[in-house]
Structure 1
Amino acid sequence: MKKSIYLILFKLGFLFIFFTFFPNSIYAKNIDSTKIKDDWYIESALRYGRIVPNSSGTKLWNINVIGADLRIGKQTFGKSEWEQWFGYPNYGLAFRYAHFSDNMLQDKIACFWFLSGSFVDSRHLSFRYQLGSGLVYFFNYYDPFKNIENVFIGSALNAHIDLNLSLDFTITKQIDLILRANFSHSSNGAIRFPNYGINPISGQLAVRYHFNERAEKIYTIDTIKTFLPKNSLYFTLAPGFKQSKKNYVYDNPDKYRVKTKYLTTTFQLGYLRQFHPKYRFGGGIDIMYSSELRNFFPPEKQNEWKYMTTAGFVSFELLYNRFVVHAALAAYISRSADFYEWYYERAGFKVLLGKNRNHSLGIMLKAHAGMIDYIEWGYNFQFFNWNDKSVRILKRFKKRV
C-alpha cells in the first residue's frame, strides 16, 4: 500500500514540476501575445488533506487524501464594473484527481467551475476566496456485496462543492505562487441512498502561469457615488426528486435496497431589493409538495394535501454580473407532521437571463440543519419591478496604492 502511495506522489510531483517550469514548451508556439487582450492562465496544484467526520463512530479522519488540480482560468482586470466591485475575480474550469488512502473510497475525479474574488489585493500579495461547483465521479461507491462499508457515497456520479481561502503571491509578470486552504463536499443530494457524503479538507500548493504579461488593472468605480435601488416581485417554480430514509429495510443486509424516488416541487413567491451593484436581499413564502411525506402517515390517513407544507424565508444574494450566489433561511409555517427540523436552509446559484435580467435558471440545495433534503431545479421570473425615487449614497472605492 505504501509503495502505491509513493508512486502516486511521484507521478503527481512530476506533473506539478512539468506544468510549472515548462509551460512555454506546450503553448508558446500557438499564442501571439500581441493579439490576446484577455488574461488567460493555466495552473497546476498539489494537495494533501484528510476527511472531516460527519457522523459519530467513523474513522474518516484517519483517511489521507492526496491529489492534483489542473485549472484553466481567466483573470479579470476591471473592464466591467462588476469586476472592480468584487476585487478583480478570476474564473474558469478545474479538473481534480484525488486518491484516498483506504479501500473504501479509493479514487475520484472531478470537474467544476470556479469563481474567485479578493478580500485584500496589492501588487505582490492577495488574500482571496473561491466558490466552486460541479460533478465528481467516485470509482468505489456503495455496493451491498462489494463495498458495504461505504455508506458515504451511494452513487458513482455526485455533486461537488468547492470552497477555498488562499494567499496569492506575484512572483513575476507571468507567474504566481498560491498557498490554498480547501474545503469540499461531495454527495448526490438524496437522489440515491446511502448519502452521508464526505467533506475533505486539504492544503494546496499551486503555481499559476499567465500566457501573457498581466494587464494593468482598471479603476473607474472610485468615481461612482450613487446607486438607484431596484425592487422586484417574483415567483420561482422548482421541481426535484429524492429517496426516503423511511424506506430503509433494517432486517436486510442491504437496508438501502428500496430505490423508490419521490417527486418534490417548490413554488415560491418573494420580494427582492437590490440596494448595491453586488448585493440584494429578500423574503417571501415557500409552498412545497413532497410525495415522500406519505411515508410519515399510516395508509388510512394518507392524503395528497398532507404532503403540502408552507414556510417563510429570508434570503441574501451576491451578484457577479449575471451569476448569482443565493443563500436563505426558512421556518415552517404549516405542516401536517413534525418531520425533520422546524427550519431549513437553502443555498445555490442562479444565472440571470434576458435583456433586463428578469428571468433566471438555478440549482438549489434544500437542507435541514445541514443534512440535504433534496435538490431543486428552478426557474425564476421577476414579474413586477420598480426603482426607488431617490438614489442611495455608496461608499467610495479606495484605489490601491
Structure 2
Amino acid sequence: MSESRSIHPLNPSRRRLLKAGGALMTLLVTPVGMAQSAARILAVRVWPSRDYTRITLEGADLLKYNFQIVKNPERLVIDLEGVEFDSMLQSLPDKISETDPYIRLIRAGRNRPGVVRLVVELKSEISPQVFSLPPAGSYGHRLVLDLYPTVEADPLMALIEKRSPEDAVIGSGKPGAAEDNPFRISRDSARSPATPAANDRPARISRPSLQLITIALDPGHGGEDPGAIGARGTYEKTVTLEIGRRLKAKIDAEPNMRAMLTRDADFFVPLGQRVEKARRVQADLFVSIHADAFIRPDARGSSVFVLSDRGATSTAARWLANKENSADLIGGVNLGVKDSHLAKTLLDLSQTATLNDSMKVAKAVLSELGGINQLHKGSVEQASFAVLKAPDIPSMLVETAFISNPEEEKRLTDDAYQDKMADAMLRGIKRYFAKNPPLNRNKVALKD
C-alpha cells in the first residue's frame, strides 16, 4: 500500500527567508564576498637608509605571507594570502626612491585568487628579515621586510675613511678646508708634503701626538618610531636628528674630535644596536638626544640623565625611562634573530668608573644647557635607560626640551635654537674632556 503525501506551497514569509539565505551563500563564494572577508591593508611605508631599507605593511588583522629570494636577477618575492589588491597596495611602487640603496623597483598585483604578490627588484644581493609585529602604540598588525646588505658596513672604517689624513688641506686658500677635519694640522706642526714615492702613492702626514676624541651621537627614535609628538604635529625623531647633525658638524670642526651618528636619516635603530655602534667605533662618549613629552603640557625645561644602578631618582625619571625603553616595541625588532652582541651591551655594575665619568660629563652639559633654557631639574637625574647601558663608555641622555609643551615645541623647530642647543652641548663636552682626557686605547697613531 503506497503512502501519498500532499505538498503544501511555501508561505510568502518563509520563501523570502530562503531567498535571503541563498543570496548570502552566493555572496560568500563570489569574488565580492571574498573582498569583504579579505584582510584590509591600513598603510604601507618605506624607510630607506644606508644601513638597511625597511618596508612595512600595516593591516587591521594579522597578515599571512610567504617569501622567497629569486636569483639572476636578484628579487625578493612576497605572497600575501587573503589580501585584496586595493589602492593602498597599488601605491607601494610609487614609494620607492631612485636613491634607495637596495631596491630598484617594486611590482605588485594579483597572483591568483586571494593572493597578492609583491616582487621587489633589488640593486644587489641582500640578506632579508621578514617578520610580523603585534599591535603596538598607534600601529595595528605589521608585516616588516628588512633588507640588509650581505656584508655589514663597518662603522669604524666608515668613520676613518670620511676623516682620513689625506683629506686635510694645507694652504689651499679655501676657507674652513682644514677646520672641518679632526685630523687638522696646526700651523706649528704643518710641514711640506713629502716627495712622492716611486709608485706615486700620496704620502701620509705624521701626527704622532694627535689623540682623537670619538663621540657617538644618538638621535632618538626614527623610522617606524616617531617618538613623542607635539601639539603642532612635530615629531621628536625629526628634532633629534636635526640637533644631532648640527652637533656632529661642530664636533667634526674641532681639531682633536670626531663624531658619528647612530642614525643619519629617518630610519629605526634598535636600542641595543645604538650601543653596539658606539662600542664598535671605540667611542669615548655616548650622547643620546631626545625631546620628550610628559603627561602634563606645562612640563618644561632641559634635563640630563645618566644610568642608575639603584633605581630612578624621581617618579618622572622612572616614567620617562620606561617610555624610552619601549622604543623597540614601537619601532619593531625582529625577536626571532639573536643579537650576538647583546651580552656585550648589558650593564656590568662593577664598572663604577664609567658611571662616575657619566655623571661628570652630564653635570658639565647640564650647566651649559642652563644658560640657554630653563632646567627641568637643577641636578643630573638617574634612571635605568636601556640605551645608556654600555659598560665601558661614559653615557648620558639629553632631554633638550619638552616637545609636549607648545612653547618649547616651537623653539625646538627653530634653527637658531637648535644651533644654540648644539653649541651648549659641545661646550659641556669640551669642559669634561679638558679635565678627563680619554683612555689611551683610542689614541690614533698615523704613520707615513
TM-score, normalised by the number of residues in structure 1: 0.24
**Comparing both chains, which one has the higher relative contact order based on Cα–Cα distances under 8 Å and sequence gaps of 6 or more?**
2
Greater fraction of residues in helix = 2
- Say which one has the larger Rg: 2
By percentage of residues, which structure has more strand?
1
